[in-house]
Amino acid sequence: MLQASRLKHILQFKNPSGTSRGVLTTKDTWFLILKQGDNFGIGECGMFRGLSYDDRPDFEKKLDWTCKHIDLGLETLLAELVEFPAIQIGLETAFLSLRSKDPFSIFPSEFTTGEAAIPINGLIWMGSEAFMKEQIRDRLKDGFGCIKMKIGAIDFEKEISLLKSIRSEFSSEEIELRVDANGAFKPSDALEKLHRLAELDIHSIEQPIKQGQWQEMAGLCEETPLPIALDEELIGVVSMTDKIKLLETIRPQYIILKPTLVGGFSGSDEWISLSEKNSLGWWITSALESNVGLNAISQYTFTKNSKLPQGLGTGSLFTNNIDSPLEVTAGTLRYQPEKQWNVDLFSI
């Protein structure tokens, strides 16, 4: 008999982390645990408050409903949970985990055997100029060949100065620079700022203006001097018809997929298929999940064979993460199969 339960876990940040949605000190997440005989499966439902489509008062109630109706099966439940992408990916992961020989090796590959690694970007969090400079030095020292800097929190001129200081030491061949505006620019001055950034050989900018302004974003993507990547713009766009309409209207250069926010692996597969049909680039990013969710997303990402650095380096942010074989070394994410998972929290 298949049984399901859920466990809430509050992740604690080692350092307060600045985003466009304020400074984060904690992050709620939920683990979905399946048991069938001697087998177990585990998935993470990492709803992101203030950002997720399913950040709504009935989230936990829907999670309890899912556990109660687990016998409906994966496909039926996914269809029922179209408005709850975080629960969708938790379910997908838990069922894959349950059916695997190793419940933490859900997409077996050269990544899970430790033979191959995933190149990732080093993330620079928003904060004071001094704090951001310190992070930049640390990421470069750690061997990252791609750095992603969140902008829009401090004065734009100071952010330009920070980027210039990197470019004065490292060319675009040595360090790939990405910036993420999280919708901080106004449509009226966005193009001017994009021209300023383009002078610094920036690889791409994520979400220069707030999502939902399709015509304004389409205009920017048509005129931009540097590639634009859609991020928040994809959240809440769930039907295939709407996905096609969004991409054909805006025509971005890239899309960025956070599986926890866009309908799990099946939702990400749809976006990837559409982007490739439209000759758009894409990469995958985690959304502050614990190592359980990060592990599933990383293993899925490896199977997609993207050659671009991915956004998967968030596992070391928390003091009470789940001990796992995931390890960031020399700008890559690796799975060290000789290391053990700590499953004490889950009572399994």
Domain count, the chain: 2
Beta strands in the chain (DSSP E): 3-19, 22-36, 39-45, 118-119, 122-124, 146-150, 176-180, 202-206, 228-230, 254-257, 281-284, 326-329, 332-335
> What crossing angle do the helices spanning 264-277 and 85-99 adopt, rounded to 10°?
110
Q: How far apart are CA 207 and CA 205, in angstroms?
A: 7
Q: What is the CATH number of the domain that holds 66?
A: 3.30.390.10
Note down the domain range covering 73.
3-99
Residues 241 and 137 in one domain: yes
Residues 130 and 54 in one domain: no
Q: Give tens-digit pLDDT for 57-68.
A: 999 999 999 999
| Residues forming the active site | 150, 258
In a domain, 112, yes or no: no
> Average per-residue pLDDT in the chain?
94
In a domain, 107, yes or no: no
Residues 189 and 74 in one domain: no
Q: Give tens-digit pLDDT for 155-192.
A: 899 889 989 988 888 889 888 999 999 899 999 999 99
In a domain, 257, yes or no: yes
In a domain, 109, yes or no: no
Residues 230 and 134 in one domain: yes
The pair of structure tokens assigned to 318 is 């928390």
Q: Are 103 and 118 in contact (CB under 8 A)?
A: no
Of the candidates 289, 276, 233, which has an alpha carbon nearest to the alpha carbon of residue 257? 233
Residues 123 and 87 in one domain: no
The fraction of the chain above a pLDDT of 90, given in percent, is 80
Q: Give tens-digit pLDDT for 292-323.
A: 999 999 999 999 999 999 999 877 889 999 99
pTM, entire model: 0.95
Residues 139 and 65 in one domain: no
Q: What's the Rg (C-alpha) of the chain?
A: 20
Residues 186 and 319 in one domain: yes
Considering 45, 67, 99, which residue would you say is the last residue of a domain? 99
Task: Tell me what pLDDT residue 228 has.
Answer: 98
Q: Compute the residue count for the chain.
A: 348
Q: What is the CATH number of the domain that holds 328?
A: 3.20.20.120
Q: Give tens-digit pLDDT for 228-261.
A: 999 999 999 999 999 999 999 999 999 999 999 9
Sign of CA dihedral 58, 64, 69, 75: positive
